[in-house]
Amino acid sequence: MPDLEWFRVFVISYPTLQYLVVFLGAAFGGEVAMIALGFLAAQEIFSLNLLFCVSFLGVMSSDILYFWLARTETANRFFTHRYANGTISMITEAVARVSRGSHFIALFLANFMIASRIILIMYVSKTDLKFSRFVYYEAISVVLWLLSLISIGFLSGIGFTRISDNLENIYAGIGFALLVVLAVIALQIWLKRFLVKEGEEIVEEKKVDNMI
């Protein structure tokens, strides 16, 4: 698309910038950033190989950081704070039930839940999971997460180009891309609400059991 040509030329002119944008976007940008980067790959601003490899390193770096942060005193204070403890307990209780104690399933859910990734990684870190096993499980989860989101972004980028060209209206293409992003976010919000509801039921069950 001509509208993105200036950005493509700018990024290609500074190869180091490509790595930096992808690494930071993957490490701290979350789902929207990965879909956006996949979208840009469809516009030939990033190569898919570069995007996937650097994104993998970025996500793993941030997740390892969260894993070790969870074992600090600051993290303990956050988890036990009265404003955070309730919501965190509901999410972690639900994940524990759904995963049936499987660290891999817990980490897999962490990657696909909106605004809960850091919480669940820190929760897993507080179990008896060894660091080497965490890296192994998380690497598999991250690969699946990246394949899903980059594919969504890439396909939405192709759809954006075709719709814009066929209708000769860039706003129609933008609308399509935004619709895809909103659909992904809506699915993640639904998953989080489902788990929070499950967590509330578990907490209530425990309260009843304690009263008995």
What is the model's pLDDT at position 104?
A: 77
Give yes or no for a contact between 105 and 98, defined as CB atoms under 8 angstroms apart. yes
Please tell me the total count of domains within the chain.
Answer: 1
pLDDT digits (tens, 9 = 90+) for 78-135: 655 554 555 556 556 656 665 666 777 777 777 776 656 777 777 777 677 788 888 8
Domain range for 164 is 2-211
Q: What percent of the chain has pLDDT over 90?
A: 13
Mean pLDDT of the 172-199 span = 77
- Distance separating alpha carbons of residues 165 and 43, to the nearest angstrom: 13
The whole-number pLDDT of residue 78 equals 60
Q: What is the mean pLDDT of residues 62-74?
A: 82
pTM: 0.74
Query: Is 52's pLDDT higher than 70?
Result: yes
Distance CA 46, CA 19 (A): 9
